[in-house]
Every structure is written in structure tokens, then in C-alpha cells.
Structure 1
Amino acid sequence: MTLEPLQLPADADAWPDFLTTVVDAALDEARAHVATLKDGTPRSAAQVLELWNASDAALGQASAAAHLLAEVHPDAEVRTAAEERAQAAEDFATERGLDRELWEAFAATDPSGLDADARRVHAHVLRDFRRSGVDRSPQERETLRTLAQRCTELGLEFARNIREGARSIRVRPEQLAGLPADFLESHPADDEGLVTLTTEYPDLIPVRTYARDAHVRRALTSEYLRIASPVNAPVLAELLRLRDERAHLLGYPDWPTYDAEVKMIGSGAAIADFIERLDALTVEAARRDVAVLLERFRADDPSASAVTPADSLYYDQVIRREQYDVDAQEVRRYFRYAQVRDGVMSTIGRLLGLTFERVDVPAWHESVEAYDVRSEGERIGRFYLDMHPRAGKFNHAAQFSLVPGLAGVRLPEGVLVCNFPTGTMEHDDVCTFFHEFGHLVHEIVGGHQRWAEFSGVATEWDFVEAPSQLLEEWAWDAGVLRTFATDESGEPIPEALVERMRAADAFGRGSWTRRQLNFTALSYGLHADPPADLDAFTAQVDARFGPFAPLPDTHQTTGFGHLDGYGSGYYTYLWSLVIAKDLLTAFGGDLMNPEVGRRYREAILAPGGSRDAADLVTGFLGRPHTFDAFTSWLAAT
């Protein structure tokens, strides 16, 4: 049977009907399967699992489409309607997990006759029932249901306030000295002779990187660090408090301990230990990096006493230009969006044995592109690229599922949501493109499991970043870059420039890792013991981990979107980076080795969540992962 991708509306007015016929219908289907499971009919473990899987698949479809459209649809009314559906899907998942009658029907089955994958599903479902609190008293279950539903509401509100909270400043044209010519051309003065700069990435990153006027850098960075303030402060405070209450009611000492139980890391205490280990590894390297930045800052401004986030990117590129002969504005000439898009897809396609074919199908916005993914000529999935900023759209970079794949039932479909400029890009943007595309191919290649529980990017959540962080390495390979990084005359980026870029990249590695550690400690600490004063706790984290001095009257937590989706798990990025550096060793310096690339596809991506992440890594490397490659990378500064 040939599977067809989901058809999206061609008419802008048809989206409300789409929410009804796709999202609502899927949620109704999920409920119907649960009702069947509870109808009293005697069933084998295999029969129970099949019904559960059908419910899981339907719920996954409803949730995926609703969450995506709530973040990207250009019509605010459709976004609101999609957000309501996302809430309904999360609420049903909560109800299902606390349904004692359903749990009893499931627990009564004997899994001994099932195959290994089915037994794994059976064990995971029983584990998740326990973690929901299904075995608690009726009063406790009702409290847990109320808490979970309220947490979902708060999470959606927190994300919405960030998504819709873009801020701006207005400056005189002469204050933009240092910005690239294409940036200046795209930012003309208004009737009052002023230029508007927003906190969206295509404005924020160039200004922080190139603007010579420290006041402009500081003003825009400060506005960015005030996104969703003050509205998100009480939202986050309540969310943290309710997560903590849920954890205690379920018998855990804190939220990180509850959350980490099903992650690779295993426990909240292990997160704290991981933070301490990275603290020891990064403190001196970060101090050296910041000292170099401050010395150069003082050459421009003798009164400078500290490096803030408003200064760090600017002086980082100054150091790279002056000490490593890497001019960021020279580098960006070679990275134009269309060429980067095609180059990333071509590179990953060749590496993994995939082809990407542009298809002309409807989407939610005219700028969105669609591609079919083929392996040996067979279509195995579809993805959409929603890559440029617009009002009301998700304002970071992420991969969303549109259709969770299921073997023999439906093709996996993913969506890359970014906020890149339409013209010239920074090299950091190129790294981000490779990173997010890594999530996308994981969604597609891993989206062919029999069990919905394991399909797509379904590994432990603290492993999902490792495959994407690995693919960032391809953005630093001279041979890879020369296949698509060309200037307007068609000349490829010089190999010598790429080598200097690689040398310059070693500078600031300590401070960059330390900054990630700051976010990690903030994410963990806010959940381990929710503070009464969010800003005061943030100041404590900044005082210990830095590496940069905070800007006054800013509020890191209100715009820290990962505190919703990742919760206490921001450590995932550094944890996965340790693994990614180890995975890289398998390529032996030849990033385009097709044999290793195909083995990586089959060993790491294709299994989805059907095996533990540690086993996937061991199977690919031939040994358990270690810290060695990460430690060597960090020391090469």
C-alpha cells in the first residue's frame, strides 16, 4: 500500500475545518480506542497493546498538528483555536494516564508471549501509568489531574507570551556604523529619520555582533532580555510551584528527580553532579576568555569594568578579526540563504543516502516550502521549511512534528521552524541550520516504527540533541562548505579562510560552554527548589557561573522558552554535546564517508526510541560513550 502525506488546506479560510477534520477527529479517535479498551471484553496482551497503540497514534497526530499550528499559523484566530486543541490533547493524555480502570485492564495482561519490542511498550506504559499517579487515592488522582492540566495551561501561556512579545528600539542611522551593507539597505530610516530594530534574531544577532555603538548593542540586548516581562514572571512562578507540588505528591523529592527518572542521566542528583563536573572543567577556560574580551573592550573604552551579553558577541568577532584574521563580514558573504538551504540538504542527503524533492503543495504561509524525502527512490516522508520571521510566529529555531510516522499507516512529516534572514546569513546560522536539520532527518528516518511510542525523535529526551549537535560539525568542514558556500561571483569559500575560522572557533569555547552551564544551572535550580524571587535567584546563578556580567533591569527567566518544554532539563544540551563529540570520532576525520554515514543512519536514527539511547551509542561506537572527546575539544583553546 502506498502511503500519502497529509493534505493541508489550499484555501486560507479552510483552516478551521482542518482543525475539526484532522485534529478534533484524531482526538475523538484516541478517546474511542480508550473506551473500547475499557468495555470489559477479555483481551490478550497483544490485543490490548494494539488498541493502546491506535489510541497513542491518534493522540500523537492531534497533539502534533495542534502544537505546530499554535506556533506558526499567520492567523491569530487559528493560532488560538490550535492552542485550545493542544490543551485538549494534553488534558486527554493526563486523563488517560490517571484512568485507573484503563490501568487495571492493562496491568491484568500477561506480556510473556509478546516479542521484544511489544514487551518494551508494555513495560513503558505501566511505568508511565505509575508516574502519572494512577495507583494513588481518588482524591490524590483528582489533585494530580488538576495540577497537570493547570501546568499545561501555564506552559502554553508562557510560550505564547514569548512568541508574541517581540520588542524594539529606534535609533539614528549613524548609530548603525559597523553593520553590514545589506543590513543597512534593508533597514531604511522612517519619516522621522529613525531606524527600528526588533528583538527578532535577524536584527538582534547582527546588531550584537557588528554595531560599534555600545549604547545600541546594550539597548537592544536589554530589550531582548525583557521579552515577556513582567507578564511571564507570575506564570513561571506558578508553573514551578505546581511542578514541585506534583513531584512531591508522586513521592519524589523534587521535579528534577521525577523528570530525570526516564532520561539517560537517571536522577536529579546526577544533574547536580554533572553541573559540578562541568564547573570544574570550564571555570579557568572561561575566565581566560572573558579576560581577553575585557582587555580588548578597555582598549575602546578605558572605563569598561565588565563584559556583558551586550558586548560579548561584538568583542568576540573583534578578537577573531584582529588575532585570527577572520572577518565575520567577509565570512558571511559566502552564506546566502538559498545556497545554504540547498547545500545543507545536499550534504546530509549524500551522507545518509537520502534525496529531497521539492513539491508544490499547500502550506500555512506562502513562504513555506515542502519537500518529499526519498530513500532508493521510495518516498519515506515529507518536511516543510518555515524559515523566516513574521509577526506571531515562534521566534527561535526548532523542529516540530506535523504527522508522527507509523509503519504501514502514515508517513512521518516534520517541520523546520527558524528565523533566518532571507539574504546573507551568519556562519552561526549555518550551524543552526545543520543542527535543526539533524532533528528533521531523525524525525523522518526514525518515523517508521510499528509502535507510536517509539516512532520519530522518541529517544530519551536528553539524547535528542546529540544527533543534531553532531551534524553541526559539517558546517566547519572546508570540503563540505566549498560545495555550496560561494560569493555572488560563484567563487567558493577559500579553504584557508575555513581553517582560520576553525582556529578562531577555539577561542571563546570556555566562555561559550560556561554560558550554557549558566542556563543549565538556572533550569535545574529553579526546579530543584523553586525560589520566591526569580530575579534574585538568577543573580545568584550569574554570580557563580557568569561568565558575563548581567545587564541591569533585565529578566532572563521570562523569555527563557526552554523552561516550558525542557523544564529542569536544559542540561540536555551539554549532556548531548558530550555524546556528540564522541560520536564524531567514528568518522575518523572523513565527514563524508558514506559507509559510516549509512551506519550512523541505521544505528542511531532509524531505531527511533525502540532501544535505549545508551545502547544505540554503544552499537554505533562499539563501546560505551565517554567524556574523553569532549574534554579534548574543550581543552583545545
Structure 2
Amino acid sequence: MTSISPDLHLADFASAAPSTLQIEILNAINTANAFLDDMTTTTDNNGHSVDMSAEQALADVMAFDHMNLALDRSWGILSHLNSVTSNDEIRHVHHELLPKLSAYGTRVGQHQPLFSRYQTIVNDEAFFARLEPARARAIELALRSFELSGVALAKAEQEKFAAIQSELSTLSATFSDHILDATQAHALPLNDKQLTGLTESGLALLADAGAQYKARTLASGSLTQEDIDALPTPYYVASLNIPVYLAVMTYADDRRLRETLYRAYVTRASEFDTHTNAKGESLNNADIMSQILQLREQKAKLLGFTDYAAVSLSKKMADSVAEVETFLRDLAAQATPTAERDLAQLQQYANAYGIDELQPWDSAYIAEKVKQSEFNLSQEEIRPYFPLPKVINGLFAIVERLYDIKVKEQTNDNANSQPVSHWHDDVSFYQLFDADDNLLGGFYFDLFARSGKRGGAWMNGFQSRYSYDEQAHQQLPVCFMVGNFTPALDGKPSLLTHDEVLTLFHEFGHGLHHLLTQVTVGDVAGVNGVEWDAVELPSQFMENWAWDAEGIALISSHVETGEALPKDKLDALLAVKNFQSGMQTLRQIELALFDLLIHAHTPALDYEGILATLNTVRSDVAIMQTPDYNRFANGFSHIFAGGYAAGYYSYKWAELLSADAFSKFEEDGIFNPVTGKAFRDTILSVGGSFPAKTNFENFRGRSASIDALLRHSGFANTKKVDAANAQTTHEVI
């Protein structure tokens, strides 16, 4: 039997009941709090050591870190389940625990005796100099975290800080709930006329949504079995789940249907959304957004910062709001000429379809027509060439060639394999080995859209590489890679669009960053401790192999015939890489500027101010009108419920780094094993144990340049900008 290494410490999801996890979490908090209760201060008011050696202080720090594994594990499982299999019971327990987790986290960050141990370590300069780099870096980052947690505040201000943190955690969770509930509440049954233009795979998705609609309405009592039986089969329903939404927006000939669905999507959780949750409460996020901004500003002021954006940037590569804003606006200037040509091309084609003025609900539809005409490329025609099993096997073959590693699936239907617990039947588990068959880590794939699962794609670094010699504890990295792809339908495997292929490669890049680390200090292993505006480097970097002919050959073959992607379709796919790149870049800059400016504004903006800022940014950089009712901000989970507040610019910042890093492979050969080893050794293996700028320069041999980003984006007048001058160079769960 193929066994599972105990160093993976895999979770038993079959026994991971919310009530059980709740008990484990509360017990872990109580144990850790008792440890903190017994601590005494080891430095005086000037930070000088009092009766404790740096060695003993480090021992206490490491013991406390190890104690927190139990909490990290139980909470990690619960929060993961809340994202992928959310139901009322999981959500209730998750939200009930948030204030307790927040209070505990704040206590740790403001705990003077624990803080004094870190001070004792760094104050002994000779001892600190002897520490391994990863340990030293973790201690430096911890000291910064203490400062940003209010350790230096007076007691009354610390209490206020704690209350703010607690309220923010609850508000962010509610914001996320509202988006999930609003997305799943929308169901629009379609008639035959509205189906015109939809592809075979699109119709299958709509029929699947219709079957789910029938089951849901029957279970809720909205319809009786007699009502259900009276509905046609298949029953086509348009939902706001991304695969269904995109199928309609890209192919439906009915312009009014596209506008209806677009409006529903961009008004989710806004004042225009009439849906309610199970308790009958409004899903409108408007007040929550302004409350979050106000609380973040209060937090920033308590810590001595001018605004929350300054707090966010204190942990990133970029130094200031002005620097990031300059980077974004300069890039917008580079992208605008291309974007204007993109829009003119779309409008020219729109005229042929009787559309005098292109609107957002026309963009994907007309863009597909342009691809078919100009490039002889249809996403639906190439979808059969990207069956998910082939894509996954090809992805594994690519990373095996690049990094000399091996991936093996652990299947539960094999009598010779030890079974692995999953949270859903769609989930699969894999182990990662080096060239000598040494186990490096493990990862789960959960790739399909379904009810109860939040939208988007992400990598959750559930468990870091870590060792604790005092208790002979060895822990290998484990992560969850999650997507919302088109599921398998009509007896065929999932067939991916090329956009979905890129998403899979992106998340796998994050996964490799987590899994290939050789750092055993958990706080800086893998993606941990990596500056947020550099954490997207490995993920965006990985996408390049899905844009290369050699890479595409490994990930594509026809689902029925096994034939390779025909040369004309391959040429068309590669030619279309920069199609609409100008407009897409401006869209990302629009979101990044909006995020930056609302967090840099003081006093904190109310809802009207938030919308006004977004409109101002659009007038500055967007080249296509947005309807007045658009409330995209109400669903902007990245910044209101995720880790990207005043950091959404990180995608473009890291894209500069990733493009420049890939240009080294373009020079040496994209499967050059020496270059692959260098990238693994200088970027992927070291995690956050050194500053990201140092890691990049160790790989590239110089500071970053914007040249490759502009070239890869297809922008004219490419110019080199040194990262030191622009830093205008520059994650998930």
C-alpha cells in the first residue's frame, strides 16, 4: 500500500464537524492564553534585558510558536470549509469564533512579555548575528508586526485597537457572506428565444443550473414536486456563477438578456439588490464598506500613520502612496493608445451587429466575434482541446522539466493506496517529490464551481514547512488550490477555456511557492513573510508556459480523438495573446487606483464618497462608459474581505517582476533546467526568508525593468525603466 507520510499531518475531513472544530479552537486559545499568563517581562522600559538570556528568550518564542500550531490547524480547516462548503452550521460557528480569534490575535500582538523576548533576542547583537537567516528574518518581521498591533499604545488605546480589530473581522466576513448569498440567490429561467447563440457547453451549464434550481426550490418549499414536474427538462436557468455568467455574456445573441444578467452581476449586494439572507436581512454592503474604511482609518491613526494606505504599504516593497500612484498612472499612459485601438476595433464590429454604442454587456460578446473573424479562433472550438485531465498532466510535466520534481496523485479507488480524506467528491490529492523521491509536500485540487462555494480561484497555504527539534516535530507543506471551473458534463471530463487554463497555472504557481520552500521557520516558509506586492510573482510567472507553443503541446489534445491542437488554432491562440490587452490593463489599473485612493483618503469616505472616487478614477483612466447603476465596489471582496486592501496594485507590480523573470527563460530557453533550478533556488525555495527585492536580484542579477512587461503586453514605444527609479516596478487565501 502506498502510504501517506505522517509529516504531512493530513486532516480528517470526515470528522471535521463545525462543533468539534469549535471546541478544538477554543481549547487551543485557552492553552495559549495560559502560556501567555505565565510569562513575565524580560526587558526594562528602555528595552534592555532583565535576567534572561537571548537563548532562553528564543526558546520561549519557539515554544509559543509551536503551541499555536493547534489553533492554526483547527481554524485553518474551519475557515477553509467556510469557503468551499459553506452552510448555515459552518457559517454560524465560523462567525461566532471571529471575535474570539480577533481578541486572541490582538492580545498576542500587544503582549509585552512576549514582545520583550523578541527585544532580548535582537538586543544581543552577537547572538542575533549567529541565527540562521530565516530565523533572523522571522524575528524582524515579528517585531514589525508587534508595532502594527499596537504594542506601544497606552492601555486604553490598546483596548480601542482590539475592539476595532474584532469589528473589522466580523464586518469582512459579513461582506463576503452577502456576496455569496447574492450570487446564489439569482436565478433567471430562460425561454427558447433567449438561448440563441449559446454553445453546446453553455447550454449544458444552463441545464445543470436549472437542475440545481429545481432541487433548491423544492427543498426550500418555494415549489412543490408537482410544480417541479411541470417544468420542462432540460430547464435552462441563467445564474451568476462565473461559468454560467460568462457563457451567457460571451455567446447569447439576446442583447437584452446580456444586459439583464450584467446588471444583476454588477449590482450584487448593493442598494439595487432586493435579495435577503436566510434571516430576511438585506444583503446590501454599502454601510459595511464605509464602516470598514472608517475603522481602518481609526486603526491607522492609533498606530501613528496618516491613513490606512500607509499602514498597508509599511509591509510591502513599494514605499509610498505617491510611488504606487505614479507607477499606475505611468502604466496607464503606456496602455491607453493600445486600449483606444482595442475599443475602436470592438465598436467597428459592434456596428455590424446593429450596436451603435458598445456597452459593457456587449464587450465579451463582440470580442468573441472579433476573435472568430480576425484570428479564426473560437473559445468553444478550442475548449475540447483542453480537457482537464490532459491539462493537469501537462502542467505536471512542465514543472517536472523545470524544477526536477515529480507529482503523484493519491487515489482512493486504488486498493494499493492509503485513502485520503476529502471535503467533497470533486477533490483530489497529490504528493510532490524531488528527483530522489524525497517527499516535499502535498496539495489538494478543488476546481469546480458548485453551490456553497465562494467564487474565484485561490491557493490556501494551509500548512507550512516547519520543524521543531525540541519535540522532534517535522511538518511538510500542504495547500489547497481552489477554482470555479466548468464542471464535467454529459459524460465528458471538464473542458477548460484557455482563460481557465491560465487560472489553473496561476494558482499552481502560488502552490509551488508554498510547496518548494526549503525554509523550516514557518513564519517565513513558502508564501509566508513575502511582501504582498511580490507574492503574485511566482503565480503570474507560471502562466507564461500556457502561452508558449511548447507548453501548449503538453497540455492540449482533443477530448475525443486525442489529436493535437491544429497548427492554425495554435497560431491563432498565440496571436490572440495581447488581444484587448490595453483595455484589460486599464481595467486592472482602475481597480488598483480606486483601492489605493479610498484607503489613502482622510477622513474616511462614506458610501457616496466611495462611489464618487470610483467614478473619478474611471474618468481618469477608463475609455469606456460604465452605467450609473454599476456597483462593482460592493462585491470587491479582494479589498473589503480579503488581504488586498491598499494592495490591489500588487497584481501589476508583481506582473512587472514576473515578466522580467520570464525574460531570463526567453533568453536561455523556456525549459532550460539550469535557469529553472536558479529560479527554484532563489525565489521558490527561500520564501520570505529574505526581502523579495533581494530574491529577485539574486535570480536576475540586476534590478527589475519594465521593458518585458510592456513587450509582453504588446504596448508600443516600449521603454526601459529601472526598478530603482520607478519602483514603479514593482497574493491569496
**Matches of 1:338 and 1:440, distance apart in 2:** 18
Q: Is the 8 A contact 2:383 2:495 kept in 1?
A: yes
> Which residue of 2 is the match for residue 51 of structure 1?
60
Bigger mean CA offset, 454-463 vs 359-368: 359-368
Shift in alpha-carbon separation, 1:274–1:353, aligned structure 2, 3 A: same
Q: Which residue of 2 aligns with 1:297?
A: 350
Which residue of the other structure, out of 447, 465, 478, is the alignment partner of 1:413?
478
More moved, 102-111 vs 126-135: 102-111
Paired with 1:28 and 1:209, the residues of 2 have a C-alpha distance of 53
- Say if 1:294 and 1:531 are closer, same or farther in 2 by CA, change over 3 A: farther
| 2:176 paired with 1:159 | yes
- Deviation per CA, 1:529-571, whole angstroms, max 9, x where unpaired? 2432133332222222224322342311111111122111100
Structure 1 residues 281 and 192: alpha-carbon distance in aligned structure 2, compared to 1, 3 A threshold: same
Q: How does 1:30-429 map to 2 (within 5 A)?
A: 30-38=32-40, 42-56=51-65, 58=68, 60-85=72-97, 87-109=99-121, 110-112=123-125, 113-114=127-128, 115=131, 116-166=133-183, 167-188=186-207, 191-192=230-231, 195-230=236-271, 231-302=284-355, 304-308=356-360, 310-359=361-410, 360=412, 361-375=420-434, 376-407=436-467, 409-422=474-487, 423-429=494-500
Do the aligned residues in 1 keep the contact of 2:168 with 2:295 (CA within 8 Å)?
A: yes
Shift of 1:121: 2.7
Cα separation, partners in 2 of 1:175 and 1:46, compared to 1, 3 Å: farther
Contact kept? 2:516, 2:526, Cα under 8 Å = yes
Secondary structure of the structure 2 residue equivalent to 1:432:
helix
Query: Counterpart of 2:45?
Result: none
Counterpart CA distance in 1 for 2:500 and 2:477 is 26
The offset of 1:14, in angstroms, is 4.4
Alignment of 1:428-439 (within 5 A): 428-439=499-510
Q: Distance in 2 between matches of 1:292 and 1:137?
A: 60
1:624 corresponds to which letter in structure 2?
Answer: S
SS at match of 1:332: helix
Cα distance, 1:75 vs structure 2: 4.2
Give the superposition deviation at 1:494. 2.2
Question: Unpaired runs of 5+ in structure 2?
Answer: 43-49, 211-227, 272-283, 413-419, 468-472, 488-493, 717-733
CA deviation digits over 1:22-73, x for unaligned, max 9?
Answer: x445444543543454377943223323432443452543543333122123
How has the CA–CA distance of structure 1 residues 106 and 362 changed in structure 2, closer, same or farther, with 3 Å as cutoff? same
Q: Would the alpha carbon gap of residues 126 and 636 (structure 1) be closer, same or farther in structure 2, given more than 3 Å must change? A: closer
Amino acid at match of 1:17: T
Q: Is the 8 A contact 1:442 1:605 kept in 2?
A: yes
Question: Cα distance 1:86–1:621, how it changes in 2: closer, same or farther (>3 A)?
Answer: farther
Task: Identify the residue that residue 600 of structure 2 maps to in structure 1.
Answer: 528
Match of 1:326, SS state, is: coil
Normalising to structure 2: TM-score of the pair? 0.82
Give the whole-Å Cα distance in 1 for the aligned partners of 2:94 and 2:658. 35
The structural deviation recorded for 1:74 is: 4.7
Q: 1: CA distance between counterparts of 2:91 and 2:512?
A: 26
Name the counterpart of 1:555. Answer: 631
**Gaps (5+ residues) in structure 1?**
none
Contact conserved, 2:332 with 2:589, CA < 8 A, in 1? yes
CA spacing shift, 1:211–1:585, aligned 2, 3 Å: same
The Cα shift of 1:460 comes to 0.4
2:521 matched to 1:451? yes
1:11 aligns with 2:52: no
Q: TM-score, normalised by structure 1?
A: 0.94
SS at match of 1:505: coil
Q: For 1:519 and 1:30, how far apart are their aligned partners in 2?
A: 40
1:617 corresponds in structure 2 to 696
> Shift of the alpha carbon at 1:496?
3.6
> Secondary structure, in 3 states, of the residue corresponding to 1:372?
strand
Alpha-carbon contact 1:38-1:105 (below 8 Å) kept: no
Post-superposition CA distance 1:572-605 (Å, at most 9, x none) = 0000111111000111263222222222111101
Q: Is residue 507 of structure 1 aligned with residue 579 of structure 2?
A: yes
* Residues 21, 75 of structure 2: 8 Å contact kept: no
Q: Secondary structure at the match of 1:387?
A: strand
Cα distance in 1 between the residues matched to 2:143 and 2:104: 17
Task: Give 1:3 deviation, angstroms.
Answer: 4.2
Query: Residue 460 of structure 1 corresponds to which residue in structure 2?
Result: 531
**C-alpha distance after superposition, 1:94-117 (max 9, x if no partner):** 221122343234324434112243
What's the CA shift string for 1:193-245, capped at 9, x where partnerless?
56211111110122222222222222222211122224211111100111011
The letter of the residue matching 1:100 is Q
Between 1:12-21 and 1:69-78, the stretch displaced more is: 12-21
**What is the Cα deviation at residue 352 of structure 1?**
1.8
- Check conservation: 2:109, 2:149, Cα contact below 8 A: yes
Give the match's secondary structure for 1:384: strand
Q: Give, in whole Å, the separation in 1 of the partners of 2:682 and 2:453.
A: 35
| Counterpart AA for 1:632 | R
Contact kept? 1:111, 1:119, Cα under 8 Å: no
Structure 2 distance, partners of 1:96, 1:469, is: 34
CA distance in 2, matches of 1:550, 1:173: 30
Q: Deviations over 1:140-191 (max 9, x none)?
A: 1111111112111111111222223213322213312222212213434784
The superposition leaves residues 366-391 of structure 1 with CA deviations (integer Å, 9 ceiling, x where unpaired) of 21111111122122211111111222
Per the alignment, residue 477 of structure 1 pairs with 548
The percentage of aligned residue pairs carrying the same residue is 26
Letter in 1 for 2:90: V
Q: Give the partner amino acid of 2:197.
A: G
1:328 shift after superposition: 1.8
Root mean square deviation of aligned Cα: 2.4
Q: Cα 1:84–1:44, aligned 2, differ >3 Å: closer, same or farther?
A: farther
Q: Secondary structure of the residue that 1:507 maps to in structure 2?
A: coil
Deviations 1:507-534 (A, max 9, x none): 2111110010011011112211243213
- Shift in CA distance, 584/201, structure 1 to aligned 2, threshold 3 Å: same
Secondary structure at the residue paired with 1:518?
helix
* Counterpart pick for 1:516 among 577, 588, 594: 588
1:140 is paired with a residue of what secondary structure? helix
Please give the alpha-carbon distance, in whole angstroms, between the structure 2 residues aligned to 1:490 and 1:261. Answer: 52
Count of aligned pairs: 633
Q: What CA distance in whole angstroms lies between the structure 2 residues aligned with 1:79 and 1:559?
A: 19
Q: CA deviation at 1:15?
A: 5.1
Bigger Cα Rg: 2
Return the offset for 1:341. Answer: 2.4
Alignment partner, residue 214 of structure 2: none
Distance apart, 1:454 and its partner CA:
0.3
Structure 1 distance, partners of 2:156, 2:13, is 48
What secondary structure, in the 3-state scheme, does the structure 2 residue paired with 1:610 have?
A: coil
